[in-house]
Structure 1
Amino acid sequence: MKKTAWACLFASLFSLPPQAMAFDLGGALKDAVEKNAGDLINNKNSNDADTTPANPEANSLASINWKSPSRDEEIKLGREIAGNLLGAAPLVKNPALQQYVNRVGRWVASQSERSDLPWHFGVIDSDDINAFAAPGGYVLITKGLYKRLQNEAQLAGVLGHEIAHIVQKHQLKVLQKQQLLSLGAGLLSGKVAKGNQTIEKVIGSGAEISARSLDKDAEYEADRMGLILAARAGYDPYGLPEVLSGLEDISSNDGSIALLFKTHPAPEERLAALGAATAKSGNLPTGKTLEKRLLPLP
């Protein structure tokens, strides 16, 4: 869809208040969850000095308050979940790329209501076209998706979508509901898992939730917010719609994108939902695309 049309469709989105695509890689995720991979981002895969290694003391999460998890509990939980996912596909061994994606992601995240989270971003070594978010500020996109990007504004839009999931606590809310139901059933049956057994189940469930589909409303909300956050950061707001438009041209039978199509609304539906969210017409703010600043990936 041409930019003139998008100008009319999306103009009112920026009056809205501020508020991963999926990832599986076949059976690799299941194997990684079972092995309970430990570290999130280590110095071997990335020399990003701002990246914090995972806390190996998962015991501190065994007594998490599922009715209202604290900020620290959310961060620790997300760190363990992301660590499991990285057990399925490690980071691309390109420190410059990892640092670049972190700079862009953190700048976009700074435009959100949760700018205080210790945000971490990375590109994982997979040719699948995917991305995902884990609670507490952890965002990963695949090498396959990154290679499709043509400018930094598109990267900002994709990262903005995942940032929105975390800001709105989409995955965390699903985990809360699951764990509260599980605890309730356990109390009724007199069987309640304790200690490490509990947290291992939570981390495994969290990895599956982060990697699989949320409901359509959550995805549409993340699209709207991702566009808004990227525009607030000074980027061309057409970045995310351009990525979605590009995905329309890929066959749903293509193995690299099959899971994304399976677990997300179709790109054309997402584009239509973005348009339908517009309350009035007008001009979108001018932003930068920054084609030359997008770091190439061989």
Structure 2
Amino acid sequence: MKTKLMVLAISLASFSGVAMGFDFGKLLEDRLNQELNKDKKTQPAATPPPAGAQSAAASPPAAKQKVDAGQLGFALFGDYSPEEENRIGKQISGNLLGAVPLVRDDGLQRYVNRVGNWVALQTGRKNTSWHFGVLDTEDINAFAAPGGYIFLTKGLYRRLNNEAELAGVLGHEIAHVTQRHHLKVLKKSSLIGALGQAASSKAQGSDQMVQNLIGNGAEIMARGLDKDAEFEADRVGIVFAARAGYDVWGLPTVLQDMAALPAKDNRTSLLYKTHPHPADRLAALGEAVGDRLDGIQGKELANRFYKIR
């Protein structure tokens, strides 16, 4: 498997071209920025001091900043409860769906949820209620949010040929949740915020902390995780799909197809902002997996793959 993936990665790395498409990436970023900045817009502007006021009296010394003890303690030693994780993911998903709705095809949504929940069952994670959806955009991408909220776009779904490929894509996004990739970034942002924040000595409550982190989570979804998290999600995701009985080549086949798209295809503009290039992912996957999965026999199930309208 390693040799096959390395050959695919090398041969696909140089594709280029131009295609036109709806800029979902810009729409999503604009929507999330609007959500993040709406509170700032409602605050009244500060009243400037009257002329000469600065010379009339000396300015008081700046107050010494204090570290928010509650936020710092959480960042160093705490963790998110399942309820907090679900609240964060639900709100982030709501922001995403505010930018673009689900495809109006109940059969499609039920099918993707059946496949997704079957793959998610292989994780052994019992405290998560999984939700899957197909977004109504021709952009090519997929997203995960904490708490088990998984989305792929109609543009990506149209490029899939069988259920194994769908399972591979969903397995990758499921792995982001099980490996807590977004939550780890949020926890790091909580530490940074605690060290740089001027606050009272009173510890911050859990509700307020969760609300503060929702905006950061939305930004992560728009801008992506680091490449190591994406590579790990590829490795873990193909294992989940294989455990579910699917052909282990499902995800690599999808990556091969995406790598062959023109480099300047607008449909992949956000994909390349949120994920490493598919050729790099294929190379990393081949290096990590080697030939250990070559003997696994899984099914493609092309005959029951739901054809989108």
- Same-fold call, TM > 0.5? yes
2:239 maps to what in 1? 228
Cα-Cα RMSD: 3.0
State the 1:202 CA deviation. Answer: 2.1
Between the aligned partners of 1:194 and 1:34, the Cα distance in structure 2 is 25
- Work out whether 1:105 is the aligned partner of 2:116: yes
- CA gap 1:269/1:35 in 2 versus in 1, 3 angstroms: closer
- Sort the Cα spacing of 1:98 and 1:282 in 2 relative to 1 into closer, same or farther, 3 A: closer
Question: 1:96/1:248 Cα in 2 relative to 1: closer, same or farther (>3 Å)?
Answer: same
Specify which structure has the bigger relative contact order, considering alpha-carbon pairs within 8 angstroms and separated by 6 or more residues: 2
Corresponding residue SS for 1:26: helix
Residues 197-236 of structure 1: pairs in structure 2 closer than 5 A = 199-236=210-247
Is 2:255–2:278's contact at 8 Å kept on the other side of the alignment?
A: yes
Q: Which residue of 1 aligns with 2:269?
A: 258
**TM-score of the aligned structures, taking structure 1 as reference length:** 0.77
Equivalent residue in structure 1 for 2:90, among 79, 86, 104? 79
Partners of 1:115 and 1:168 in 2: how far apart? 14
Partner of 2:134: 123
Alignment of 1:161-240 (within 5 A): 161-187=172-198, 199-240=210-251
1:1-298 alignment runs, 5 A limit: 5=4, 25-32=25-32, 34-35=34-35, 67-187=78-198, 199-278=210-289, 283-298=294-309
Contact 1:129 1:143 in 2 (8 A): yes
SS at match of 1:133: strand
Report which of the two structures shows the higher radius of gyration computed on alpha carbons. 2
Task: Give secondary structure in 2 for the equivalent of 1:96.
Answer: helix
Farther off after superposition, 197-206 or 146-155: 197-206
Unaligned runs of 5+ in 1: 10-22, 37-61
Structure 2 portions without partners, runs of 5+: 9-22, 37-70
Match of 1:59 in 2: none
Q: Distance in 2 between matches of 1:31 and 1:4?
A: 42
The alpha-carbon distance between structure 1 residues 3 and 242, as it changes in their structure 2 partners (threshold 3 A), is: farther
Distance 1:196 1:294 in 2: 42
CA distance in 2, matches of 1:198, 1:188: 13
| Counterpart Cα distance in 1 of 2:194 and 2:303 | 52
Deviates more, 1:266-275 or 1:188-197: 188-197
Q: TM-score, normalised by structure 2?
A: 0.75
Residues of 1 paired with 2:141 and 2:201: CA distance? 41
CA offsets per residue over residues 95-116 of structure 1, 9 Å max, x none? 1111110000000011014243
Amino acid at match of 1:234: G
Task: Point out the more displaced range, 158-167 or 266-275.
Answer: 266-275
Deviations 1:248-295 (A, max 9, x none): 110120000122123321111111111101355573311110112111
Q: Is the 8 A contact 1:24 1:212 kept in 2?
A: no
**Deviation (angstroms), 1:205:** 1.5
Which letter does structure 2 place at the counterpart of 1:114? R
Deviation digits for residues 97-136 of structure 1 (CA, Å, limit 9, x no counterpart)? 1111000000001101424310000001111000110001
Contact kept in structure 2, 1:33 and 1:84, CA below 8 Å? no
Aligned to 2:18: none
| Residue 186 to residue 243, structure 1, CA distance change in 2 (3 Å) | same
Runs of 4+ in 1 over 6 A off after TM superposition: 188-197
Name the count of aligned residue pairs: 256
Query: In 2 relative to 1, CA 156–132 (structure 1 residues): closer, same or farther, beyond 3 Å?
Result: same
- How much does 1:197 deviate? 7.0
Is the 2:31–2:95 Cα contact (8 Å) retained in structure 1? no
Task: Note the C-alpha offset of 1:189.
Answer: 8.9
Following the alignment from structure 1 to structure 2, what is the Cα–Cα distance between the partners of residues 119 and 285?
Answer: 27
Q: State, as a whole percentage, how many aligned pairs show the same letter.
A: 50
